[in-house]
Structure 1
Amino acid sequence: MTTEHRIVVLGAGYAGLSAARRAAKIKGVRVTVVDARAEFVDRVRLHQALAGQQVPRADLGEVLAGKGIEFVQARVERIDTAAHRIRLADGGTRCYDTLVYALGSSGDRSAVPGATEFAYSVAVPEDIGRMPALSGRIAVVGGGATGIEVASELAESRPDLPVSLISADEPGGWLSAKAHNHIRAVLDRLGVRVRADVKVAAVTADGLELVDGERVPAETVLWTTGFGVPRVAADSGLAVDPRGRVLVDDELRSRSHPDIYAVGDAAVIAGPDGRDLRMACATAIPAGTYAATAIAARLRGKEPAAREYRYVFQCISLGRRDGVIQFVHADDSNARTVLTGRTAAWFKEQIVRMVGKVAQE
């Protein structure tokens, strides 16, 4: 009697679902996905949900069942690496032969006093559910892609809410001059008050205190900078970096436990130049697919092909009618081509729809 090889995927985000879908095509395996959420919500649409827009949702049980994948809705508590067993918070367990660790990341507000008490993250679907009704002055902290998208989406859809964007760096400053200048121009047009090159010292019940002593009044503070990962890997004895992300080799296997693969935000994935690959669906989806491909090769007794990454562009929404598409070289450095305006908004929407298919098809 042939025993099926048990592949358990922890996490049903972009990386986990990509790995599970590919793994389900391997002959002689049984794939199980474990996630605390019952639904998949596109993380790249959370700024739209925050602004009150309806965003697509997918029932994970239904989607995965249609692909022959078992779904277990439960929070992962610990990995018993010696017994190859997952302990779940509800008291249940799942055994594995190969594990894919893809528990993702969430917002981290611990770096500044008062942020945990008085600011709100916009990093995972639960953040939107916990958010009170937006009112009064809005201060968005963080000039990265999330901060830019949140500020512009709110300014466009809720012109009744004065929006400020507070950042230690210039919003979009890592992009080419054309892309960066367009972002600033659109934020200005939408009425977003941008404060760059300033740092937040504390968050209070009525706004922000900056390092230089200035106060920024706000009824709502949205924190879009900083991230954290679950402690499951660290608590289970896997080799991790200081942030708790799993250290992996070139095949995305845990350096300390090679029967565990780690992908997505919860892993430290090195690029061709030694730098960590950026946290994005453009990293997570190929990583999940590669991990499953590597597992398939090893089950056939072969060495996996070398992992390759090729970035093509970075996409930033600036409301529903504008955006920036920064084309990049394979190593993620800026190329000359930039799309802006309605063309960029349409382009970004097509990319988001395509990305969403990882869970919806």
Structure 2
Amino acid sequence: MTDILVLGAGYTGTAAAIRAAVRTRRTGGKVTLVNASPRFTERLRLHQTAAGERLSDFALDEVVAGTGIDLVVGRVAGIDLDHHQVSLEGGRVLGYDKLIYALGTVTDTSVPGVADHACTYDDHAGAVRLSERLGALTRGTVVVAGGGLTGVESATELAEAYPHLHVVLLTRGRPGSMMSAAARAHLDGALERLGVAVRAGADITKVLPDGVELDGGGLVHSDATLWTTGTRGLPLAAESGLSVDERGRIVVDSALRSVSHPDVYAVGDAAAVSQPYGVLHGTCQGGIPTGLHAADSLAATLRGKAARPFRFGYFHQPVSLGRADAVIQFTRPDDSPRRWFLKGRAAIVYKETVSSSPMTTFKLLKRGLVPVWMFALTAGLT
């Protein structure tokens, strides 16, 4: 019997656990999945939660039912790499032979005042708190810090859901800067249509209870601030002795094993996964394929076979612009924009199709199948 312990039951960790259970069933694999909450959180839709939308609720024990996976609800407190043990808050200790680390990342709160005065999307509760705060305002200003895709989706969603509030998007660069000129023009038009005030070139130096300070002395009033400017790996990885990069992500080899501790696999946002074009950035698009590949690598090792190197190419950048609009930028494998993009109704249908409930994906994995949409993502470089 090989004890396989998976930490974290987000998109990536759940996919990795199910895949590992299926692939190691005949070789004596026993999979245990640890998560702080008994519920599955759709992190891709937390901006909708912040806008007051009630999303589907999934119990993790139902998600993994029929796989033989043991679900343990608890928050990880420490990892003893020498003794192959994981301790949980409350004192429980779990042993492992192989570990899959899928605990993701948390918001980078290194800017003064962020931890005390800004809202984040680190968990479902954080999005709910922002929703409650905005719902209590009869008027005022909401500042969204960060012009990446999460910031753009949040700014448009909040502006549409709370039309009586003034939404300001603060960003160092231009929103949607990774897109083609035509796709970016549609994104800009949506921000303008929804009344989002965009302030590019803004470098925030401090978050206050009622505003944000900018480099150079400027001040933007805010009745609520949402921070989406970047993420970091949990301190747990480095504190445990795993090799990490400058953002606290676990450095892995081509099989997604820790370069310092090969019995530990790291996947999703928590891993620094190198490809010929650079290190993967944290998205569900790349996260689930890493989870599946780590499970396959682990299963191959248990069968005495060599693990195949991980190869991944990006395919698209889907961005919702409120509930009535969206833009989809199709990309080359290195994530640079192609000429093709979708907008409006066609983009909404496309985005809702590829980011629909992950339960369909998990059901296919239980049957030993890989969802069709993943073949495009893992087709390799062209």
Do both share a fold (TM > 0.5)? yes
User: Is 1:34–2:34 an aligned residue pair?
Assistant: yes
User: Is 1:350–2:353 an aligned residue pair?
Assistant: yes
1:288-310 per-position Cα deviation (integer Å, ceiling 9, x unaligned):
00000011111111112222112
Question: Aligned pair count?
Answer: 356
The answer (yes or no) to whether the contact 1:40–1:58 under 8 Å persists in 2 is: yes
| Whole-Å separation in 2 of the counterparts to 1:33 and 1:321 | 37
Q: What is residue 96 of structure 1 aligned with on the other side?
A: 96
Matched-pair identity in %:
45
The answer (yes or no) to whether the contact 2:211–2:223 under 8 Å persists in 1 is: yes
User: Is 1:5–2:5 an aligned residue pair?
Assistant: no
Q: What is residue 171 of structure 2 aligned with on the other side?
A: 167
In the TM superposition, residue 175 of structure 1 has moved relative to its aligned partner by 1.0
The answer (yes or no) to whether the contact 2:8–2:101 under 8 Å persists in 1 is: yes
Question: In the alignment, residue 344 of structure 2 is paired with which amino acid?
Answer: G
The answer (yes or no) to whether the contact 1:229–1:245 under 8 Å persists in 2 is: yes
- The aligned runs of 1:111-150 (5 Å cut-off) are 111=111, 113-131=112-130, 132-134=132-134, 135=137, 136-150=140-154
Question: In the alignment, residue 352 of structure 1 is paired with which amino acid?
Answer: S
| Whole-Å separation in 2 of the counterparts to 1:254 and 1:248 | 4
- Partner SS, residue 16 of structure 1: helix
Counterparts in 2 of 1:235 and 1:303: CA distance versus 1, 3 Å: same
User: Is 1:210–2:214 an aligned residue pair?
Assistant: yes
| Whole-Å separation in 1 of the counterparts to 2:125 and 2:318 | 24
Counterparts in 2 of 1:173 and 1:185: CA distance versus 1, 3 Å: same
Gaps of 5+ in 2: 365-382
Q: What is residue 257 of structure 2 aligned with on the other side?
A: 253
1:92-135 per-position Cα deviation (integer Å, ceiling 9, x unaligned):
11111110011101212222x22222211124213123334212
The answer (yes or no) to whether the contact 2:133–2:224 under 8 Å persists in 1 is: no
| Whole-Å separation in 1 of the counterparts to 2:362 and 2:224 | 32
- Partner SS, residue 133 of structure 2: coil
Q: Match for 1:15 among 9, 12, 23?
A: 12
Question: In the alignment, residue 219 of structure 1 is paired with which amino acid?
Answer: D
| Whole-Å separation in 1 of the counterparts to 2:65 and 2:270 | 25
- Partner SS, residue 37 of structure 1: coil
Counterparts in 2 of 1:126 and 1:76: CA distance versus 1, 3 Å: same
In the TM superposition, residue 161 of structure 1 has moved relative to its aligned partner by 1.1
| Whole-Å separation in 2 of the counterparts to 1:32 and 1:358 | 20
Q: State the TM-score, normalized to the length of structure 2.
A: 0.90
User: Is 1:316–2:315 an aligned residue pair?
Assistant: no
In the TM superposition, residue 201 of structure 1 has moved relative to its aligned partner by 2.1
In the TM superposition, residue 212 of structure 1 has moved relative to its aligned partner by 2.6
- Partner SS, residue 121 of structure 1: coil
In the TM superposition, residue 339 of structure 1 has moved relative to its aligned partner by 0.3
Q: Match for 2:335 among 311, 317, 332?
A: 332
| Whole-Å separation in 2 of the counterparts to 1:226 and 1:306 | 28
Q: What is residue 293 of structure 2 aligned with on the other side?
A: 290
User: Is 1:154–2:174 an aligned residue pair?
Assistant: no
Q: What is residue 44 of structure 1 aligned with on the other side?
A: 44
- Partner SS, residue 182 of structure 2: helix
Question: In the alignment, residue 97 of structure 1 is paired with which amino acid?
Answer: D
The answer (yes or no) to whether the contact 1:41–1:56 under 8 Å persists in 2 is: no
Cα RMSD, aligned residues only: 1.5
- Partner SS, residue 56 of structure 1: coil
| Whole-Å separation in 2 of the counterparts to 1:343 and 1:96 | 47
The answer (yes or no) to whether the contact 1:84–1:97 under 8 Å persists in 2 is: yes
In the TM superposition, residue 359 of structure 1 has moved relative to its aligned partner by 5.3
| Whole-Å separation in 1 of the counterparts to 2:164 and 2:124 | 24
- Partner SS, residue 143 of structure 2: strand
| Whole-Å separation in 1 of the counterparts to 2:113 and 2:95 | 41
1:189-213 per-position Cα deviation (integer Å, ceiling 9, x unaligned):
0011111112112222221221132
- Partner SS, residue 275 of structure 2: coil
Question: In the alignment, residue 263 of structure 2 is paired with which amino acid?
Answer: D
| Whole-Å separation in 2 of the counterparts to 1:270 and 1:354 | 29
